[in-house]
Amino acid sequence: MRWALIGASTIASQYVIGAIRAQADGEVVRLVSGSAARARQYAADHGIAESGTDLDQALSDPRVAAVYVSSTNEKHHEQAMAAIAAGRHVLCEKPLALTLEQAQAMVAAADAAGVVFATNHHLRCSGSHRAMRALIAEGRIGRVLSLRLFHAVHLPENLRGWRINDAGAGGGVIPDITVHDADVARFLLGEDPVSVVAQMASTGMGDGVEDSAMSVWAMPSGAMVMSHESFTHPFAGSGLEVHGTAGSIFARGVMTQRPVGEIELVTAAGREAVAYPDHDLYAQGLAEFHAAVRGEGRPAATGRDGVKSLAVALAVREAARTGTRQAVDYGAGA
């Protein structure tokens, strides 16, 4: 399957181009950027034959079957809608859009066009998260009481542009990391947050956008989720804990782009290390996307999953902004 990339991005360069090329039939044939010079340089650096600034031209290339959108967040909606209108399958970066309405429109358009539309929530592709999900689903920890997500990172220097100073581009830690945590909670627990309370702050990096957030989410089952995201924590490490009536799962270093981290299951029987497959997260996501295009199953995270993670993130920001508990609005038909 031949791909066009929209966005001369770091994530494509570090992970997704390689993940596409890891597929037996995966090829990157075009790149679209907002700048002709950047397009040329990026294409040369990554061995992409065609590049330019004309989205319509790329989308009219009959070789292009699928499009990966990894531009800044405010561009996702328009670019994905154009790709869908051109009948292309789309893998879109998170957050799908800046508003719920835009994200819903993308899903509706893809449904109407009969194309695969997926969200690049990589964490649910990891062997570690899949192993934890299986433990929970098998009842190994009993009824889930609570989930604590630790996702406070130290944003690398090269990613400190629009993310920390441009609200218009969709900057801020909530659209950047809270969306991932919302997807993790939904994936692990198999239910969607109902309401949230939250605080956000600028603790050293954020300039006009929040660089830190803490929130508590109520789940339909009665379980509670506590979530912490930040750009400013050099030594916090990442992880999660799931506590149930019959056991607890402790996972360290698992909120990452690489297949690393340790998981421990603690029950009345004692403590045991949990093994998991260490495949590449992005290649796994791409494999499931390619399979979905072949008519075999669904992508790892669908467009609807992207709508829901965005809905939670929007509720967290609104709860923090207003200081009030917010019901999560998933929109009509969710």
Structure tokens at 171: 């900057």
Determine the Cα–Cα distance for residues 190 and 219; give it in Å rounded to an integer: 10
302 near ligand NDP, rule: CB under 6 A: no
Least distance CB 281 / ligand NDP (angstroms) = 8
> CA angle at residue 210 from 209 to 212, to 5 degrees?
160
Which of residues 74, 93, 280, 305 is near ligand NDP by CB under 6 A? 93
72 near ligand NDP, rule: CB under 6 A: yes
* String of contacts with ligand NDP for each residue 119-158, x by CB under 6 A: -x-x------------------------------------
Which of residues 30, 77, 89, 94 is near ligand NDP by CB under 6 A? 94
317 near ligand NDP, rule: CB under 6 A: no
Least distance CB 101 / ligand NDP (angstroms) = 18
Determine the Cα–Cα distance for residues 30 and 180; give it in Å rounded to an integer: 28
Map residue 11 onto helix, strand or coil: helix
Which of residues 127, 164, 176, 306 is near ligand NDP by CB under 6 A? 176
Stretch that binds ligand NDP, among 70-78, 140-148, 266-274, 286-294 (CB under 6 A): 70-78
Which of residues 17, 55, 71, 107 is near ligand NDP by CB under 6 A? 71
Which of residues 87, 139, 161, 222 is near ligand NDP by CB under 6 A? 161
Residues near 312 by Cβ (< 8 Å), separated by ≥ 6? 178, 179, 182, 185, 186, 192, 193, 196, 217, 328
- Residue whose Cβ sits closest to ligand NDP: 34
10 near ligand NDP, rule: CB under 6 A: yes
8 near ligand NDP, rule: CB under 6 A: yes
Structure tokens at 130: 């899949």
Determine the Cα–Cα distance for residues 313 and 193; give it in Å rounded to an integer: 11
* Cα distances (Å, whole numbers) of residue 123 to 113, 130, 294: 28, 9, 23
CA atoms within 13 Å, Cβ hemisphere of 65? 12
Which is it for the CA torsion 309, 312, 318, 319, positive or negative?
negative
Count of residues interacting with ligand NDP (CB under 6 A)? 21
73 near ligand NDP, rule: CB under 6 A: yes
* String of contacts with ligand NDP for each residue 37-56, x by CB under 6 A: -x------------------
181 near ligand NDP, rule: CB under 6 A: no
Which is it for the CA torsion 278, 281, 283, 285, positive or negative?
positive
Least distance CB 282 / ligand NDP (angstroms) = 7
Least distance CB 273 / ligand NDP (angstroms) = 26
Q: What are residue 92's DSSP bridge partners?
A: 69, 119
Sheet containing strand 2-6, strands side by side: 50-52, 27-32, 2-6, 66-69, 89-92, 117-119
Closest CB to ligand NDP among 83 and 141?
83
Determine the Cα–Cα distance for residues 182 and 295; give it in Å rounded to an integer: 27
Closest CB to ligand NDP among 79 and 216?
79
Residues that bind ligand NDP (CB under 6 A): 7-11, 33-35, 38, 70-73, 93-94, 120, 122, 159, 161, 176, 257
